[in-house]
Structure 1
Amino acid sequence: MPLAHPPHPVAPPARPGTRAWVALAILCFVYVLNFLDRQLLSILAKPIQDDLGVTDGQLGLIGGLYFALFYCVLSIPVGWLADRTNRVRVLAFACALWSAATIACGFSTNYPQLVLARMSVGVGEAGGVPPSYAIISDLFPPHQRGTALGLYNLGPPIGQAMGVAFGASIAAAYSWRDAFLALGAVGIVTAVIVFVFVREPKRGGLDVLPGATAPQSKPAPAPFWPTLRMFFARPVLLLVSLACGATQFITYALLNFATLFLMREKGMTLSEVAIYYALLVGLGIGGGIYFSGRLVDRLVPRSKLAYAYIPAIGLALAVPFFIGFIWAPSWQLALLFLIVPMALNYFYLSPAVTLVQQEVQPNQRVLSGALLLLVMNLIGLGLGPTFLGAVSDMFKANHPGNSLQLAFYTLVPFYLVAIALFLALARGLRREDDIGVSV
Structure 2
Amino acid sequence: MTMRPEARGARIPRGAIVLLLSAIYAVNYIDRQILAIILEHIKHEFRVSDTLLGLLVGPAFALFYATLGMPIALAADRMSRSRIIIASLACFSAMTLACGLVARFWQLVVARMLTGVGEAGTGPASQSIISDLYGPSERATAQAIYATGVNVGLMIAFFAGGWIADAYGWRAAFVAAGVPGLLLTLLAMAVLRDPPRPAPVQSPSPTAARLGFLWRQRSYRYIVLGTAMSAFSGYGITAFVPAFLIRSHGMGSTEVGLTFALIVGLGGGLGTYASGRFADIAARRGGIHRNLLAPAIAAVISIPFWVPFFLAGNVAVAIAAAVIPVSLSAAFIGPCIATIQTITPPAMRARAAAIQLFVGNLIGLGLGPLVIGVLSDLLRPVFGADSLRYAMFAGVAAAVASIPFYLVAARHVPQDLERLDGLD
* Shared fold (TM-score, shorter chain, > 0.5): yes
The alignment status of 1:348 with 2:332, answered yes or no, reads yes
Inter-CA distance 168–219: structure 2 relative to 1 (3 Å threshold): farther
Inter-CA distance 319–39: structure 2 relative to 1 (3 Å threshold): same
Query: Equivalent residue for 2:350?
Result: 366
CA distance in 1, matches of 2:251, 2:111: 29
CA distance in 1, matches of 2:17, 2:204: 23
1:402-429: CA deviations, max 9, x gaps?
Answer: 1101212333332321112122213323
CA distance in 2, matches of 1:124, 1:371: 17
| Aligned partner letter, 2:301 | L
CA distance in 1, matches of 2:194, 2:105: 40
Inter-CA distance 186–345: structure 2 relative to 1 (3 Å threshold): closer
How far 1:270 sits from its partner (Å)? 1.8
Inter-CA distance 43–222: structure 2 relative to 1 (3 Å threshold): farther
1:130-151: CA deviations, max 9, x gaps?
Answer: 1100111122333322211111
How far 1:284 sits from its partner (Å)? 2.6
The alignment status of 1:437 with 2:419, answered yes or no, reads yes
Query: Equivalent residue for 2:381?
Result: 397
Counterpart of 1:247 (choices 230, 242, 254) is 230
Counterpart of 1:38 (choices 19, 32, 47) is 32
Residue 83 of structure 1 contacts residue 221 of structure 1 at CA under 8 Å; is this kept in 2?
A: no
1:50-73: CA deviations, max 9, x gaps?
Answer: 112222111111111221110001
CA distance in 1, matches of 2:215, 2:48: 38
Query: Equivalent residue for 2:109?
Result: 115
SS of the aligned residue for 2:385 comes to: coil
The alignment status of 1:413 with 2:397, answered yes or no, reads yes
Segments of 5+ residues of structure 2 without an aligned counterpart are 1-9
The alignment status of 1:163 with 2:157, answered yes or no, reads yes
Residue 52 of structure 1 contacts residue 109 of structure 1 at CA under 8 Å; is this kept in 2?
A: no
Counterpart of 1:195 (choices 176, 189, 199) is 189
SS of the aligned residue for 2:213 comes to: helix
Between stretches 221-230 and 23-32, larger displacement belongs to: 221-230
Residue 36 of structure 2 contacts residue 242 of structure 2 at CA under 8 Å; is this kept in 1?
A: yes
Structure 1 segment 127-276 matched on structure 2, within 5 A: 127-204=121-198, 216=199, 223-276=206-259
Query: Equivalent residue for 2:82?
Result: 88
Residue 87 of structure 1 contacts residue 135 of structure 1 at CA under 8 Å; is this kept in 2?
A: yes
| Aligned partner letter, 1:393 | D
SS of the aligned residue for 1:45 comes to: helix
Instruction: Provide the aligned C-alpha RMSD in A.
Output: 1.9
Residue 28 of structure 1 contacts residue 155 of structure 1 at CA under 8 Å; is this kept in 2?
A: yes
CA distance in 2, matches of 1:281, 1:86: 33
Segments of 5+ residues of structure 1 without an aligned counterpart are 1-15, 205-215
Residue 84 of structure 1 contacts residue 221 of structure 1 at CA under 8 Å; is this kept in 2?
A: no
1:132-185: CA deviations, max 9, x gaps?
Answer: 001111223333222111110000010000101110111111111011112212
SS of the aligned residue for 2:197 comes to: coil
CA distance in 1, matches of 2:227, 2:257: 29
Between stretches 20-29 and 388-397, larger displacement belongs to: 20-29
Inter-CA distance 20–410: structure 2 relative to 1 (3 Å threshold): closer
Inter-CA distance 50–356: structure 2 relative to 1 (3 Å threshold): same
| Aligned partner letter, 2:79 | T
CA distance in 2, matches of 1:430, 1:200: 30
CA distance in 2, matches of 1:223, 1:307: 30
Counterpart of 1:124 (choices 115, 118, 124) is 118
The alignment status of 1:308 with 2:292, answered yes or no, reads yes
CA distance in 2, matches of 1:338, 1:193: 36
Residue 285 of structure 1 contacts residue 343 of structure 1 at CA under 8 Å; is this kept in 2?
A: yes
Paired residues in the alignment total 411
The alignment status of 1:69 with 2:51, answered yes or no, reads no
Counterpart of 1:329 (choices 303, 310, 313) is 313
Between stretches 224-233 and 143-152, larger displacement belongs to: 224-233
Inter-CA distance 221–234: structure 2 relative to 1 (3 Å threshold): closer
Query: Equivalent residue for 1:12?
Result: none
How far 1:296 sits from its partner (Å)? 1.5
| Aligned partner letter, 1:191 | T
Counterpart of 1:387 (choices 356, 366, 371) is 371
CA distance in 2, matches of 1:163, 1:171: 11
Inter-CA distance 79–223: structure 2 relative to 1 (3 Å threshold): farther
Inter-CA distance 391–126: structure 2 relative to 1 (3 Å threshold): same
Query: Equivalent residue for 2:265?
Result: 282
Residue 279 of structure 2 contacts residue 293 of structure 2 at CA under 8 Å; is this kept in 1?
A: no
SS of the aligned residue for 1:291 comes to: helix
SS of the aligned residue for 1:324 comes to: helix
| Aligned partner letter, 2:312 | A
Query: Equivalent residue for 1:53?
Result: 47
How far 1:287 sits from its partner (Å)? 1.7
1:354-383: CA deviations, max 9, x gaps?
Answer: 001111111211111111111111111111
Inter-CA distance 49–40: structure 2 relative to 1 (3 Å threshold): same
| Aligned partner letter, 2:144 | G
How far 1:430 sits from its partner (Å)? 5.7
How far 1:268 sits from its partner (Å)? 1.2
Inter-CA distance 421–143: structure 2 relative to 1 (3 Å threshold): closer
| Aligned partner letter, 1:41 | L
CA distance in 1, matches of 2:77, 2:410: 29
How far 1:219 sits from its partner (Å)? 8.2
Inter-CA distance 303–221: structure 2 relative to 1 (3 Å threshold): closer
| Aligned partner letter, 1:318 | S
CA distance in 1, matches of 2:166, 2:126: 34
**TM-score, structure 1 length as denominator?**
0.89
| Aligned partner letter, 1:270 | S
SS of the aligned residue for 1:355 comes to: helix
